[in-house]
A and B are shown apart, each in its own frame.
Chain A
Amino acid sequence: MFNKTIKELSASLTSGKFSSEELTSAYLARANSLNSEINGYITITEETAIADAKAADQVRASGNAGPLTGIPIAQKDIFCTNGTRTSCGSKMLDNFIAPYDATVVEKLKQAGVVSLGKTNMDEFAMGSSNESSFYGPVKNPWNKECVPGGSSGGSAAVVAARLAPASTGTDTGGSIRQPAALCGITGLKPTYGRISRWGMIAFASSLDQAGPMTQTAEDAALLLQAMAGFDPKDSTCVDQEVPDYSANLNESLDGLTIGLPKEYFGEGLCADMEQKIQDAIKVYESMGAKVKEVSLPNSSLAIPAYYVIAPAECSSNLSRFDGVRFGHRCEDPKDLTDLYKRSRGEGFGPEVQRRIMVGTYALSAGYYDAYYIKAQKIRRLIKQDFVDAFQEVDVLMGPTTPSTAFKIGEKADDPVTMYLSDIYTIAANLAGLPGMSIPAGLSNDMPAGLQLIGNYFDEAKLLNVAHKFQQETEWHKQTPAGLDL
């Protein structure tokens, strides 16, 4: 049961092989007994999960079931969940019981999805290793001495360890794709504005986007279907029709033009990782796709621009955590300034404080043009590189990460080295483009991810391209050794 995809579980629910209550109970028992090994969940919501599963079984009995009715998944602890602690991986929100549901949570609930619990993450989604969480690092199920990636590290690890059939994540600079790659699962970051950000605790509002983390592209299509769509409560959400993401999964790739950005195959890419990516490209060629080298000349500027824009927006967004209306408040404040300063000093961990300070500096008087405006100009150059590339090709491919998962602690003391682990993922966020990571083999027994980047609102094409690969290969079915399924 624990190795089944959403699609397979849905078929079993339909045929009556088991009920959602039975399925959910089995996953809860598994998560409760094995979570301590990987620390993937911050909170397991047993009571609400069982109640929601029972309700889903009733919906099914009344003949109104959809493809997700009664399917249990895990939710990243960045999505506000009414009545449940929503910590965002931070001491600041350790006591925060969200008073409402995020739009993503509400939409998945409406589709009949059952939430098993809230997953561990880098504090306020700031990190690439899940080591900045107040709740401790998540361990990579493939090798527990390694990081699962981040910031959606818990969401990736619980799917890889089969403590949930699928999960939700968010991606500001690679936070869905990088952990999906390092944990050997499928992750999709949609086009900016495709999914509502309402109730999703903001890190960098012009970059943040939610998405599904699953075993297969087919499952990602099912979850995206339920998550996507216009929401008047998010002023940056794009009002565009949501296509049927499952309709074209099997479309032939004959004649598809794949662009390989030469900047994604240069210095810094591990040789064996490059081999895995080239092997994957050969699979596509065998399916009739054509390959073309392209250039994204401003790629090297993506990380520098990102580390102005993201911290600047973070310093503004996180000013709401002031110890007054919710969240952590320091003991015995002597005056209002003391209340603000100590509540924030105690509530935020070092990486969050660092980014708030970088952002505060970049936005301060005299530096705004040199940093923030400069970064926004570079952002346009980066977008234009992609617009030019998509004149020539249908989809871009390359590695999701320069190497496989690194050791816990290896990069923890050096923020700049840590930042470089997102070298291939950040540009898609700056441009607002959809991106995916799918398993493309093992390098020294650790998963390697193939990254796909599509044109604006071309999620259906990305899912088609990913699904066809998964029909030809078995990499997405690989699981860590020693998983007791």
Chain B
Amino acid sequence: MAIERSDVEKIAHLAHLQIAEADITGYAQTLTNILDLVGQMNEVNTDNIEPMAHPMDATQRLREDQVTESDQREHFQSIAPATEDGLYLVPKVIEQA
């Protein structure tokens, strides 16, 4: 299955990755090669096989809904790119009317 330049642009958008114009053709080629490799999966019939998500088929363990962590907001925010008054700062999302 061939991946075109427009596919790469669409996938990169979905993945929120800014990709240089010059790299798109290269990515289209390597993604095509990888999907060709992956396509070998179709050589085997897997009808009636249950998909396996966990090696021991374990299910999600639940715990009591209890507070186990202390508040470390300042500690965690000390490595943030931008904060103010305990909040993470990002560019304005909602424009004023």
| Bound: A174/B76 CA distance, A | 33
Contact B52 A380, beta carbon cutoff 8 Å: yes
Q: For the complex, is B22 an interface residue (Cβ under 8 Å from A)?
A: no
Interface residues in A329-376 (C-beta closer than 8 Å to B): 329, 333-342, 344-346, 348, 350, 353-354, 356-358, 360-362, 364, 371, 373-376
| Bound: A187/B97 CA distance, A | 61
- CB-nearest residue of chain A relative to B18? A345
Q: For the complex, is A416 an interface residue (Cβ under 8 Å from B)?
A: yes
Contact B17 A357, beta carbon cutoff 8 Å: yes
| Bound: A449/B12 CA distance, A | 39
Instruction: Find chain A residues with CB under 8 A from B16 CB.
Output: 319, 322, 337, 340-341, 344
| Bound: A466/B8 CA distance, A | 46
- CB-nearest residue of chain A relative to B54? A206
Contact A335 B91, beta carbon cutoff 8 Å: yes
* B 40-79 binary contact with A (CB < 8 Å = 1; else 0): 1111101001111111101011010000000010011011
- CB-nearest residue of chain B relative to A307? B38
Q: For the complex, is B2 an interface residue (Cβ under 8 Å from A)?
A: no
Min distance, Cβ B85 to any Cβ of chain A, angstroms: 16
Q: For the complex, is A18 an interface residue (Cβ under 8 Å from B)?
A: no
* B 82-97 binary contact with A (CB < 8 Å = 1; else 0): 1000001011110000
Contact A360 B15, beta carbon cutoff 8 Å: yes
Q: For the complex, is A270 an interface residue (Cβ under 8 Å from B)?
A: no
- CB-nearest residue of chain B relative to A431? B55
The listed residue with most A CB atoms (<10 A of its CB), out of B41, B60, B78, B91, is B41
Q: For the complex, is A475 an interface residue (Cβ under 8 Å from B)?
A: no
Contact B41 A432, beta carbon cutoff 8 Å: no
Interface residues in B1-30 (C-beta closer than 8 Å to A): 3, 7-8, 11-12, 14-20, 23, 27, 30
Contact A416 B88, beta carbon cutoff 8 Å: no
Contact B40 A300, beta carbon cutoff 8 Å: yes
Q: Is the interface of B mostly helix, strand, loop or mixed?
A: loop
Q: Which of A69-77, A103-111, A122-130, A230-238 contacts B (4 or more CB under 8 A)?
A: A230-238
Query: Considering only CB atoms and an 8 Å cut-off, how many residues of chain A contact the other chain?
Result: 72
Interface size class, chain B: 35 or more
| Bound: A371/B36 CA distance, A | 12
The listed residue with most B CB atoms (<10 A of its CB), out of A232, A235, A338, is A235
Instruction: Find chain A residues with CB under 8 A from B36 CB.
Output: 416
Contact A375 B56, beta carbon cutoff 8 Å: no
Q: For the complex, is A96 an interface residue (Cβ under 8 Å from B)?
A: yes
Contact A378 B79, beta carbon cutoff 8 Å: no
Q: For the complex, is A303 an interface residue (Cβ under 8 Å from B)?
A: yes
| Given A305-B41, A357-B12, 14 other A-B residues pairs in contact with their CB atoms under 8 A | A99-B76, A192-B55, A307-B34, A307-B37, A308-B41, A325-B80, A350-B23, A354-B31, A358-B34, A361-B3, A377-B52, A379-B51, A415-B33, A415-B34
A residues at B contact (CB < 8 Å): 95-97, 99, 191-193, 206, 232, 235-236, 238, 298, 300-301, 303-305, 307-308, 315, 319, 322-327, 329, 333-342, 344-346, 348, 350, 353-354, 356-358, 360-362, 364, 371, 373-381, 383, 414-416, 419, 431-433, 456
User: What are 28 A-B interface contacts by the 8 Å CB criterion?
Assistant: A192-B56, A206-B53, A235-B60, A236-B58, A238-B58, A304-B38, A304-B39, A308-B38, A322-B16, A325-B80, A333-B90, A335-B93, A342-B18, A348-B17, A353-B27, A360-B11, A361-B3, A361-B7, A375-B38, A376-B51, A376-B53, A378-B44, A380-B52, A381-B44, A415-B34, A416-B36, A419-B34, A433-B55
